[in-house]
């Protein structure tokens, strides 16, 4: 694959924030390696990247298979000059307080939201450190910086993402690596649609979710993609190891 000079790997690219990020990065001049467990979502994302004039590589992969990610990264590295950017976006949620959380729910949430990032970051850092440069953006959540009711495993996983990201910044800043977390508030994606479709009063639940933001609306996937694109960009070269909260003011009050 020739064309765009830079290369980004985006996980969870088949839907929502990941899909919007892939399209945005394509417009910003990245070739996008799209990783997701959902093959149909990946087809949709690849078509959207094409439409934006970009180029994509597609990988159907369950990120809970941490060791298996090396095959994805090696393939990208073999086809592209370097891996310039890793956006760890894939995630899952479970609605449960701590005492309601099953061991299986806990293990799956930590595996996909946190342990998968350990593997993807470790693997891709190998490539980036050899190249002498690289940027990592890890998608956390407001649930990574404040407590959210009935989200025990999710909060733990997302706070772990912030800690992991800061540790990467501390260890590798001097070797040309920047790593930042982004912590969105409520964002109108399929994720939220799924939560609302299971609510007793979907419209009431939507209104309550919208009210959590100071401006009374949910964010859009494109707004979060713009935040990720900023953190990825050279103009953010003084931004390292931060947890960038982008939540319409949800946690400001």
Ligand X SMILES: NC(=O)c1ccc[n+]([C@@H]2O[C@H](COP(=O)([O-])OP(=O)(O)OC[C@H]3O[C@@H](n4cnc5c(N)ncnc54)[C@H](O)[C@@H]3O)[C@@H](O)[C@H]2O)c1
> Is there binding between residue 18 and ligand X (CB under 6 A)?
yes
18/45 Cα distance (integer angstroms): 9
> Is there binding between residue 109 and ligand X (CB under 6 A)?
no
Contact criterion met (CB below 8 Å) for 228 and 87: yes
Helices (H) and strands (E) in the chain, counts: 9, 7
One-character DSSP codes across 10-22: EETTTSHHHHHHH
117/138 Cα distance (integer angstroms): 8
Taking alpha carbons only, the member of 128, 223, 235 closest to residue 185 is 223
CB of 56 to ligand X, least distance (A): 15
Residue 30 is among the residues annotated as catalytic for this protein = no
Q: Which is nearer to ligand X, 174 or 252 (CB)?
A: 252
> Is there binding between residue 91 and ligand X (CB under 6 A)?
yes
Q: Which of 54, 134, 160, 184 binds ligand X (CB under 6 A)?
A: 184
Q: Which of 27, 52, 64, 110 binds ligand X (CB under 6 A)?
A: 64
Q: Which of 22, 23, 31, 37 binds ligand X (CB under 6 A)?
A: 37
> Is there binding between residue 38 and ligand X (CB under 6 A)?
yes
Taking alpha carbons only, the member of 8, 9, 18 closest to residue 182 is 18
> Is there binding between residue 160 and ligand X (CB under 6 A)?
no
38/61 Cα distance (integer angstroms): 8
> Is there binding between residue 141 and ligand X (CB under 6 A)?
yes
Taking alpha carbons only, the member of 4, 7, 29, 33 closest to residue 18 is 33
Extract the runs of DSSP E, i.e. beta strands, from 4-160: 6-11, 30-36, 56-60, 85-88, 134-139
Q: Which is nearer to ligand X, 135 or 224 (CB)?
A: 224
> Is there binding between residue 227 and ligand X (CB under 6 A)?
no
In the three-class reduction of DSSP (H, G, I as helix; E, B as strand; rest coil), residue 113 is classed as: helix
> Is there binding between residue 31 and ligand X (CB under 6 A)?
no
Q: Which is nearer to ligand X, 22 or 77 (CB)?
A: 22
Tokens in use for 219? 């964010």
Q: Which of 4, 14, 227, 248 binds ligand X (CB under 6 A)?
A: 14
> Is there binding between residue 63 and ligand X (CB under 6 A)?
yes
Number of residues lying near ligand X (CB under 6 A): 27
> Is there binding between residue 101 and ligand X (CB under 6 A)?
no
Contact criterion met (CB below 8 Å) for 34 and 49: yes
> Is there binding between residue 168 and ligand X (CB under 6 A)?
no
Report the interface residues with ligand X, using CB under 6 A: 12, 14-18, 36-38, 41, 62-64, 89-92, 112, 139, 141, 184, 186-187, 189-192
Catalytic residues, by residue number, are 154
């Amino acid at each position: 694959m020739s064309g765009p000079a830079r290369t980004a790997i985006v996980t969870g690219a088949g839907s929502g924030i990941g899909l919007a990020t892939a399209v945005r990065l394509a417009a910003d001049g990245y070739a996008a390696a799209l990783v997701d467990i959902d093959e149909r979502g990946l087809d949709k994302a690849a078509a959207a990247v094409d439409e934006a004039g970009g180029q994509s590589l597609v990988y159907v992969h369950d990120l809970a298979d941490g060791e298996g990610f090396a095959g994805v990264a090696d393939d990208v590295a073999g086809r592209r000059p370097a891996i310039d950017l890793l956006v760890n976006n894939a995630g899952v949620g479970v609605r449960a307080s701590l005492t309601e959380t099953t061991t299986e729910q806990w293990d799956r949430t930590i595996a996909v939201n946190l342990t998968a990032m350990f593997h993807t970051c470790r693997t891709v850092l190998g490539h980036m450190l050899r190249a002498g440069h690289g940027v990592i953006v890890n998608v956390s959540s407001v649930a990574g910086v404040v407590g959210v009711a009935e989200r025990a495993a999710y909060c733990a996983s997302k706070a772990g993402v912030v800690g992991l990201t800061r540790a990467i910044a501390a260890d590798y800043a001097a070797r040309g690596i920047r790593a930042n977390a982004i912590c969105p508030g409520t964002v109108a994606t399929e994720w939220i649609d799924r939560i609302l479709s299971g609510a007793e009063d979907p419209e009431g639940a939507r209104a309550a979710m919208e009210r959590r933001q100071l401006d009374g609306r949910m964010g859009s996937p494109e707004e979060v993609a713009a935040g990720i694109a900023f953190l990825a960009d050279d103009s953010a070269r003084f931004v390292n190891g931060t947890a960038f909260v982008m939540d319409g003011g949800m946690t400001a009050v």
